[in-house]
Amino acid sequence: MAGGWSRDGAVQEQIDSTIEDALQRARSELPRGESRRHCEECDEEIPQARREAVPGVRLCIACQSERDKQHTTFSGYNRRGSKDSQLR
């Protein structure tokens, strides 16, 4: 069912595009390459089990946890372009 000026399926296309954007962003942030033996931030040794579990790992668990806490969520943009979102 279309609403307003949109055609049938437009809302689902917006949802699919938003999910695809989030997946691409998450994939781009995954570590690549060879794992480091010592953390880039605190220089603590990274356990062998972590290096095997996460190929390309650069941070120890403590530093990665801290970085994850500080990482802000990506809000993206309003694909529908509602008047409310344009006034902010």
Block mean pLDDT (10 aa), the chain, length 88: 64 89 87 90 94 91 89 59 54
Q: What is the predicted pLDDT for the residue at 67?
A: 87
Nearest in space to 31 (alpha carbons), one of 7, 6, 1, 67 = 67
Coil, helix or strand at residue 74: coil
Write out pLDDT tens, residues 28-52.
Answer: 887 788 899 999 999 999 999 999 9
Q: What is the pTM of this model?
A: 0.54
Non-local (6+) Cβ contacts of 58 within 8 A are 31, 35, 36, 39, 40
| Domain limits, the chain | 10-71
